[in-house]
Amino acid sequence: MGDADTDATEPADDSSAGSPPSPPAGRSWKWIGLFGGVGFLILLLDQITKALALAHLTPGEPVNVVGSLLKFNLIRNPGAAFSLGTGYTPYISAVQIIVAIGVVYLSRRLGSAGWAVAFGLLFGGAVGNIIDRIFREPSAFHGHVVDFLQTPHWAIFNVADMAVTSAAVLLVIQTLRGIKLDGTREQRR
């Protein structure tokens, strides 16, 4: 009954036990490593692409990459998605920091590749934008996020934003598939 997201040895359903069975030794480290690797990769890609955008793009001068389907258009976003909440940058920063800490805390329970990748995407994306909010102008915790990817009829975004959105989609998929954070499947009745 192996699944691509769980080890081939799924724990047996033992309803008489008081607590859920613990994952096999070493299993959680594998998923924590995947989580960390994905998170680090996203953070690295996000920071490199933002540095390149700042070095090569001029605000207000969009560059067509794939016709009008994809443009590079540099902006500095003081708010959240769609520039909402521009006066609440410190609060947005605090929420992102709490999310990042929560993801690290919950990562100890990872038992599935899907959850590990989703958590890595979420962590890398959140930290990528946290770095902007803390270290970029105009001041600490009021910094503007560097956005530079534009598609028709959508907000201008960055790699961190793509990662957070992808994480949300993966989390919904895992939930709909009935795969819990620890890799076990929900028993459907």
Residue 14 designated active-site: no
Q: What are the tokens at 81?
A: 């998605």
Catalytic residue among 5, 46, 132, 161: 161
User: Under a CB-based contact definition with an 8 Å cutoff, are residues 46 and 163 in contact?
Assistant: yes
Burial of 92 (0-12, 13-18, 19+ CB in 10 A): buried
Residue 147 designated active-site: yes
Radius of gyration in angstroms for the set of CA atoms belonging to the chain, rounded to a whole number:
19
Question: Which distant-in-sequence residues (6+ apart) come within 8 Å of 125 by Cβ?
Answer: 42, 46, 159, 160, 161, 162, 163, 164, 167
Catalytic residue among 5, 46, 132, 147: 147
Which residues are known catalytic residues? Answer: 147, 161
